[in-house]
Amino acid sequence: MTNNLAELKLPRLYPAQRKAIFAPERYSIIEASTKAGKTVGCMVWLLSRAWEDGGIGKNYWWVAPVSEQANIAFKRIRNGLSMKPAPKINLTNKTIELPNGATIWFKSGDTPDSLYGEDVHAVVIDEASRVKEDSWYAIRSTLTQTRGQVRIIGNVKG
């Protein structure tokens, strides 16, 4: 994948990952056992959405039940990105601003009221069965104007 500013190289996904995660549907629920590749696949998906469709002022979110879980994806993506010019990393706000101006935010679903307000173009909800129900309503409202896609991932629970 290329952009006039830089080149983004993403890891290849195996066919089942690509089929489930890169599905054309606006909403996609991916439920699988631990270590099946949901997180890595969705990291690739969110980065590709932000890179291909992003631009200045466009927001993309990774939402996990608690901040510590969002930090896992933030750290993995941050450590895996190698591009020139380098993305702008904000450790305090847990954001990655790509050279095209798109910003990926890593958020907690622990306080649903903190998820309202922004226009968001794509979201991954990690460990979705553990995210508060009210967080879903907040996330969905951020996607209304943009008609953004969401990938809802989690393990079988119960």
What is the per-residue pLDDT for 80? 87
Least-confidence region, from 29-43, 74-88, 109-123: 29-43
Answer whether residue 3 shows pLDDT above 50: no
For 18-54, b/e burial (b = at least 16 CB within 10 A) is eebbbeeeeebebebeeebbbbbbbbbbbbbbbbebb
Answer yes or no: is pLDDT of 135 > 80: yes
For residue 38, what pLDDT is reported? 86
Choose the weakest-confidence range: 16-20, 56-60, 122-126, 134-138.
16-20
Nearest to 54 by CA among 116, 111, 8, 106: 8
Torsion-angle region of residue 128: left (phi > 0), alpha (psi -120 to 50) or beta?
alpha
Q: What is the dihedral of CA 127, 129, 133, 135, to 10 degrees?
A: 10
